[in-house]
Structure 1
Amino acid sequence: MKLRRLLVVPVGLLLLGGGVAHASADYELAYWPMNEPPGSRVMRDATGHGFDGQIGRDVAVGLRSGDKIAYGFERLEPDTPPTRPGHVVTVPDDDRLDPGTRDYAIGMRLRTRDWFGNIVQKGQATVPGGSFKIQIPSGRIQCWFRGSHTSLLVTAPKPINDGEWHTVRCERTRDGVTLLIDRQVVASKSGWTGDIANSWPLSIGGKTNCDQVKVGCDYFAGDIDYVAVDVDEPDW
């Protein structure tokens, strides 16, 4: 059984780098254990809320690493055609998956030896309604939330592309954005992004709308053990 709640710290704890207060985004909205057997093409949401996704044909499923079962994403050269839509896992758009104005957190466990790629996102840089993504340029995790008020980006001070498993959690609250790696707060930025609600799918492993020429697909390379979304309230 995968232990997802390794990253939660006490509510009210002041975080590093600007004193952003930790939120109580602890309602499990979606949880994808990514433990389907090889050959599967449906990513199951274990919460029962129905957020099942489509696994691209190029994604390796059922990879075993000790007690972990994961999805594998092969290395593709950045900004080099052709596009590989089969490299991406997509969850259809659903208003419930949008952060809106709620406290919102995305958590995952991953490993990589590469230095680029978008790991999880909903929407892209200029789409109406805002967007969010977790990416890993230069091997350093970044959390980016773009809302109706402003955009906030936080960057880990150290790379994690060492081939080892790491837990990552990005949190957006009314106080700011916070990044935790391996249960430790490593970066935060104060501010309020505003509402985030778009009509795009949630994607894992890269962009869904790209051509590798004018718009890079930013394909992630590595393994992902689970992805989860927590909110402070379900909104339904």
Structure 2
Amino acid sequence: MKKRRFWVVSMATLGLLATSGGAATASPDYELAYWTMNEPPGSRTMRDVTGHGFDGRIGRDVAVGLRSGDRIAYGFERLEPDTPPTRPGHVVIVPDDDRLDPGDRDYAIGMRLRTRDHFGNIVQKGQATVPGGSFKLQIPNGRVQCWFRGSRTSLLVTAPKPINDGQWHTVRCERTRDGVTLIVDQRVVASRAGWTGTIANSWPISIGGKTNCDQVDVGCDYFAGDIDYIAVDVDDPGW
């Protein structure tokens, strides 16, 4: 069984970010959704173990039940970028639910992953121009990026170093009233100050690529690698 995640950002680091104009607030700590990705081979339902019911549909091309030491993960094969045909079976989809939208809350997405490639959307809700805003984590050039687009502005943060070394890494991105902060392997690596505003759209959460794409005019940005878990934390569940 996977252990719950504990994210520690030192007060010294938070102080440095605060004085340098970065984002510095308490982390969202209510577990809204937690997908352990522990299902056995052949499974087609990704279970949310929080009991909140945010189960997902696993695409037929996603490898389930991959073992790596004491970990069990999902595997996403490498697909050539912007090359037809589309592969909707490459994606895991969690149906839209208003409770999964960031709204005005402090909101964080965390995960453990490994890859040797240098492109792809890891997880997202909505796409670049959809009404209501959107968010996503992606890995261009092997460097994790986190993007929140809200009613007031968009904030993008980028890790300074690539992590496409084939090793397991933890990644967490937090959106608060003060800004967006990116944490890799429990170290703050990038932040931007500002308030994105409300984010609430009618799109599902997609893992492993886009849901609305044609690989011609709109690339599907399929992720290549393995994902061990994904979790969503908020400061206030809203119910």
Unaligned runs of 5+ in 1: none
Q: Does 1:25 align with 2:22?
A: no
Q: Does 1:8 align with 2:8?
A: yes
Structure 1 residue 14, shift from structure 2 partner: 3.1
The CA distance in 2 between the partners of 1:132 and 1:219, in whole Å, is: 16
Deviation per CA, 1:216-236: give whole Å up to 9, x if none. 000000000000000001011
What one-letter code is carried by the residue in structure 2 that aligns with 1:149?
R
The CA distance in 2 between the partners of 1:211 and 1:177, in whole Å, is: 30
Match for residue 72 of structure 1 among 67, 71, 75 = 75
The CA distance in 1 between the partners of 2:9 and 2:236, in whole Å, is: 18
Structure 1 residue 5, shift from structure 2 partner: 2.0
Unaligned runs of 5+ in 2: none
What one-letter code is carried by the residue in structure 2 that aligns with 1:34?
M
How many pairs align? Answer: 236
Structure 1 residue 22, shift from structure 2 partner: 2.9
Structure 1 residue 2, shift from structure 2 partner: 1.8
Tell me if structure 1 keeps the 8 A contact 2:27–2:174: no
The CA distance in 1 between the partners of 2:11 and 2:129, in whole Å, is: 33
TM-score by length of 1: 0.97
What one-letter code is carried by the residue in structure 2 that aligns with 1:194?
G
The corresponding residue for 2:223 is 220
The CA distance in 2 between the partners of 1:26 and 1:11, in whole Å, is: 17
Matches within 5 A, 1:122-133: 122-133=125-136
Deviation per CA, 1:56-108: give whole Å up to 9, x if none. 00000000000000000000000000000000000000000000000000000
What one-letter code is carried by the residue in structure 2 that aligns with 1:85?
P
TM-score by length of 2: 0.96
Tell me if structure 2 keeps the 8 A contact 1:179–1:185: yes
Q: Does 1:174 align with 2:177?
A: yes
What one-letter code is carried by the residue in structure 2 that aligns with 1:91?
V
Match for residue 51 of structure 2 among 43, 48, 52 = 48
What one-letter code is carried by the residue in structure 2 that aligns with 1:14?
G
Structure 1 residue 181, shift from structure 2 partner: 0.2
What one-letter code is carried by the residue in structure 1 that aligns with 2:86?
T
CA RMSD of aligned residues (A): 1.3
Matches within 5 A, 1:142-221: 142-221=145-224
The CA distance in 2 between the partners of 1:184 and 1:15, in whole Å, is: 13
What one-letter code is carried by the residue in structure 1 that aligns with 2:157?
V
The CA distance in 2 between the partners of 1:15 and 1:59, in whole Å, is: 41
Structure 1 residue 135, shift from structure 2 partner: 0.1
The CA distance in 1 between the partners of 2:184 and 2:123, in whole Å, is: 15
Tell me if structure 1 keeps the 8 A contact 2:112–2:171: yes
Match for residue 120 of structure 1 among 118, 123, 139 = 123
Matches within 5 A, 1:78-93: 78-93=81-96
